[in-house]
Chains A and B, each alone.
Chain A
């Protein structure tokens, strides 16, 4: 369905388990992808009143007409500066918040008033995993919650599936009976990813979900998510500020700035995957994307020998 691997960086193999770093493949853009749209936002607007109770009320327009489509089995990255409205966009896409205007469709149905029976098919992993879990529930119950809600598995089956999911995110099933405060941040984030995978959704929204993970875990989780997409056709909407990850993971990228979303060319000029469309070069969104890319920290220390 998707043209794969224009350039592949293969993994370095070594005897030690942690040295087998997973490979990333650069997935080319899919201008010709005609899979049906899974999630569609058309002309979505949203504003908030600022000022609180005792200050003069002001209307702050966060989204001014957002158009965004994620296709079946696709992976769309949305980047933008802090405060641009990425989290608002996520909440509207999930049906947690109603837009002031515009249309939101998931699997062809209007979901502005909630997802209803399609709730299991769109899952989310947030940035702050500590706030995303009930601190009194064990890992087994946390991962098992969507299984309880959306499936008819019994307790033993749920525990077994939770163990499988933990292994999928490279955690040991021995963590099933742990409470969240006894896990590190990275482990808890992976538990949240396992929870999102549990009901086998069609779309997973990753709202800065990989930002806090350390490098090896981040690489493994990205590889895991990529494999899952190949195997099951799940789609991702990947909201992130780390523009380094976007070309490695996403088919296409869009930038949210000034309340609007527009697609951008996520590869640098000269890259084999870079699109030739000159129209992308001068838009404010492309410039915003380039500015984010310019803020990337260096790969090597200054003056590295060699």
Chain B
């Protein structure tokens, strides 16, 4: 039901009830902390400036298994900060001051007690959620092969949380994941260096790195923004395939409403750190309520040569619209 910012929480389900949602966020608030150096330990040991308004929040989000929720909003609205907090990773100077985050039923605490993970492993956490970023090239170490990245990822995120080195069968797992994302010659890809691959290919490798950890939730932060249209379509088709075959929950952050139109079951619109409207994507497109959502949809429709919806009226097609605006499935 599209009823604005409803709270999705309830009692934690038992084994006889519906499957646990992959992600439940309730009342999340992120604030700038007063002492930058002590932010890594989360809520303890520092004094965030409670008087200042939160950078983000309060935010409520739920993503069920097999569902895609699009988080839509302008740049700077807090989408990426929200995603980082879901992985228990916040940059220096930002702390979580309120709210709960449960990934696959397990609470996500503050920063890793061992300190921030190395920059290159920033892309994945392996604790129930994996993260795919906008600029894939920046997440790869240029002097290591793709295979080395798989080895490193698997070594760092053992299922039992230990860091005892890669499994001996890491190559098998890596090849299987690369095949799943559509590479014909997975063995050759393992030997490639990042510079030998295009943006679209690196994005698929990022998704493969996420798949190899077999997590129930994938957070994709603007995964298609810098890609050309055919590559965008391929990456989104791949995400859709992964959702279907693995019943994966996907939180897809984007500023492009056509990505939400293609992928989402539900959409949450964010502005200035708050979720201003969320609900079923079709209802939001047909009858947006919040003025900001309406403005976004108006800009979106003009891009396609359509007239924006007038309140709750149906969308009317502009007589001069191109064939691409026909809303093909």
Contact = CB atoms under 8 A, between A and B. Distances in A.
B299 interface: yes
B236 interface: yes
B261 A295 contact: no
Interface stretch (B37-45, B139-147, B283-291): B283-291
A215 B257 contact: yes
Given A9-B318, A268-B324, A303-B282, A292 B329 contact: no
A18 B225 contact: no
A83 B303 contact: no
Interface stretch (B49-57, B162-170, B179-187, B227-235): B227-235
A174 interface: no
A217 B74 contact: yes
A226 to B, nearest CB: 13
Contacts of A29: none
Contacts of A127: 226
B166 to A, nearest CB: 28
Nearest to A240: B228
B142 to A, nearest CB: 13
A299 interface: yes
Contacts of A23: 302
A284 interface: no
Nearest to A81: B228
B282 A297 contact: no
Contacts of A293: 322-324
B232 A297 contact: yes
Contacts of B307: 9
B74 A214 contact: yes
Contact of B285 (A211, A247, A272, A300): A300
Contacts of B233: 295, 297
Contacts of A219: 299, 302-303
B325 interface: yes
A184 B76 contact: yes
A172 interface: no
A218 B230 CA distance: 21
A186 B225 CA distance: 13
Contacts of B287: 305
Contact of B198 (A16, A21, A82): A82
A11 B283 CA distance: 23
B75 A271 contact: no
A219 to B, nearest CB: 4
A306 B260 contact: no
Contacts of A299: 258, 261, 300-301, 304, 306, 324-327
B302 A21 contact: yes
Nearest to B227: A82
B202 to A, nearest CB: 12
A82 B200 contact: yes
B262 A292 contact: no
Contacts of B318: 9
B152 interface: no
Interface in A6-31: 7, 9, 12, 14, 16, 18-19, 21, 23-24, 26
A142 B315 CA distance: 43
Contacts of B264: 301
A14 B281 CA distance: 24
Given A14-B291, A185-B75, A299-B261, A9 B302 contact: yes
B259 A12 contact: no
B285 A304 contact: yes
7 contacts: A82-B228, A83-B198, A213-B255, A218-B299, A268-B324, A291-B230, A297-B256
Interface of B: 73-76, 198-200, 225-233, 236, 255-262, 264, 281-283, 285-287, 291-292, 294-296, 298-308, 313-315, 318, 320, 322-329
